[in-house]
């Protein structure tokens, strides 16, 4: 009996140490056309790299417009009548939600217009003539696409082009978070292309996860930070690709062009950057894109109708001065 008691005690102590002293693990790499970094604390050493590779492969096979044989590419280019997987279904439904909440400014079918205008950091902005614009507008409008009961995609016009790149990164982060949750990981930070999900805290520093927002006036040669916040049990996404800013020839100020899906026009936006906190990264990613399309004033109107969403907006006022709007919840997270 004594030997058994000692053995049981050793087993108990080993499990106690295992639970009380989780180790830090870090995974880095490239996926979805960008980089990722994951830091988590766990008492168990499991094969995260293999799981991540599997997640990225599944997401790409479902929704990558850069992969010719993905489901979305087959729907776009060959109009194949295929059943889409659960990932495609969830992203479609959440995109439809944000499309409605933004009154159509968040639109996964806007790619045809974006290509027509030739957006890019060093490209002149094309101005399609009226006839061309009218033709392209027939291909824009997420209300023209539906997910049928048999999980196939039905389009009013076969040439409508679907693109979930504005929300797919956030969704992928949520899938990774679900995987870590399934492994009973209670403290982690996931970053993919600048989008983030944080849970628990950074056990190395015994503090919340600290993350930064870039300064929209930074140069390519030198990265500067706008602010830092403590992120806990929330997701954050920022929209506002600083390399796509243009310089106003009269004022010298930076601004961005954005497409209005409702009119088909390219408009000068006074919202330079939108950082969004939400319950998951899919919504944060989608809302950040929607706000950039809406502009500052309309974004504030939309924000009033959303629950559990906080924002940090960097915008240009009527006097061409850069201003910041911070919602109450975001203000509380700032260090």
Listed residue (231, 255, 227) closest to 325, CA to CA: 227
- pTM (predicted TM-score): 0.87
Residue 244 pLDDT grade (very low, low, confident, very high; cuts 50, 70, 90):
low
Residue 242 pLDDT grade (very low, low, confident, very high; cuts 50, 70, 90):
very low
Give the residue ranges of the annotated binding site for Mg(2+): 166, 285, 289
Segment holding 226, helix H or strand E: strand 225-231
Kindly state the tokens that stand for 135.
């033709």
Indicate the average pLDDT of the chain.
86
Residue 78 pLDDT grade (very low, low, confident, very high; cuts 50, 70, 90):
confident
Give Cα separations from 144 to 111, 159, 160, 254, 261 (angstroms).
Answer: 14, 11, 9, 35, 13
For 142, the 3-state DSSP assignment is helix
Residue 291, phi-psi category: left (phi > 0), alpha (psi -120 to 50), beta (remainder): alpha
Residue 324 has pLDDT above 90, yes or no: yes
Q: Among 108-112, 214-218, 246-250, whose mean pLDDT is lowest?
A: 246-250
Residue 297 has pLDDT above 50, yes or no: yes
Listed residue (288, 299, 293) closest to 268, CA to CA: 293
Q: Collect all residues with Cβ–Cβ distance below 8 Å to 335 and sequence separation of at least 6.
A: 210, 227, 228, 229, 230
Percent of the chain at pLDDT above 90? 62
By the 10 Å C-beta count (0-12 exposed, 13-18 middle, 19+ buried), 213 is classed as buried
**DSSP string spanning 51-82?**
HHHHHHHHHHHHH-TTSTTSHHHHHHHS----
CB 153 within 8 Å of CB 162: yes
Give Cα separations from 335 to 166, 212, 313 (angstroms).
Answer: 28, 10, 17
Residue 115 pLDDT grade (very low, low, confident, very high; cuts 50, 70, 90):
confident
Pairing of strands 187-192, 153-155: unpaired
Q: What is the mean predicted confidence (pLDDT) over 190-204? A: 95
Q: What is the mean predicted confidence (pLDDT) over 156-183? A: 96
Kindly state the tokens that stand for 246.
């243009």
Residue 9 pLDDT grade (very low, low, confident, very high; cuts 50, 70, 90):
very low
pLDDT confidence of residue 52: 97
Quick: pLDDT tens for 302-318.
Answer: 999 999 999 999 998 88
Q: What is the mean predicted confidence (pLDDT) over 307-334? A: 92
Residue 259 has pLDDT above 60, yes or no: yes
CB 203 within 8 Å of CB 218: no
The Cα–Cα gap between 14 and 157 comes to 63
The Cα–Cα gap between 181 and 146 comes to 32
Q: Could you give the dihedral angle defined by the CA atoms of residues 294, 287, 30 and 26, in that order, rounded to the nearest 10 degrees?
A: 140
Structural domains in the chain, sorted by start: 60-333 (3.10.520.10)
Give the residue ranges of the annotated binding site: 166, 285, 289
């Amino acid at each position: 009996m004594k030997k058994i008691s000692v053995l049981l005690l050793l087993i108990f102590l080993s499990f106690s140490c295992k639970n009380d002293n989780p180790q830090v693990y870090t995974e880095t790499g490239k996926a979805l056309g960008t980089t990722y970094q994951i830091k988590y604390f766990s008492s168990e050493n499991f094969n995260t790299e293999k799981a991540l590779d599997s997640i990225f492969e599944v997401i790409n096979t479902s929704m990558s417009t850069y992969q010719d044989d993905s489901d979305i590419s087959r729907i776009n280019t060959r109009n194949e009548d295929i059943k889409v997987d659960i990932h495609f279904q969830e992203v479609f439904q959440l995109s439809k939600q944000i499309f409605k909440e933004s009154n159509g400014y968040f639109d996964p079918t806007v790619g045809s217009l974006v290509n027509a205008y030739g957006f890019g950091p060093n490209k002149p902005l094309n101005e399609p003539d009226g006839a061309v614009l009218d033709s392209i507008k027939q291909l824009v409008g997420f209300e023209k696409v539906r997910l049928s009961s048999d999980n196939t995609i039905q389009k009013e016009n076969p040439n409508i082009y679907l693109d979930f790149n504005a929300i797919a990164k956030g969704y992928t982060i949520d899938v990774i978070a679900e995987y870590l949750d399934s492994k009973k990981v209670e403290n982690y930070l996931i970053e993919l292309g600048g989008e983030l999900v944080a849970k628990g805290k950074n056990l190395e520093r015994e503090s919340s996860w600290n993350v930064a927002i870039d300064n929209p006036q930074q140069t390519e040669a030198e990265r500067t930070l706008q602010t830092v916040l403590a992120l806990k049990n929330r997701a954050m996404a920022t929209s506002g690709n600083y390399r796509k800013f243009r310089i106003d020839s009269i004022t010298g100020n930076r601004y961005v062009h954005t497409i209005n899906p409702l009119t088909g026009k390219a408009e000068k936006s006074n919202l330079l950057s939108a950082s969004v906190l939400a319950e998951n990264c899919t919504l944060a990613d989608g809302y950040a894109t929607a706000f950039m399309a809406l502009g500052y004033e309309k974004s504030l109107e939309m924000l009033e109708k959303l629950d559990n969403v906080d924002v940090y907006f960097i915008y240009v006022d009527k006097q061409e001065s850069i201003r910041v709007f911070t919602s109450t919840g975001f203000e509380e997270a700032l260090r």
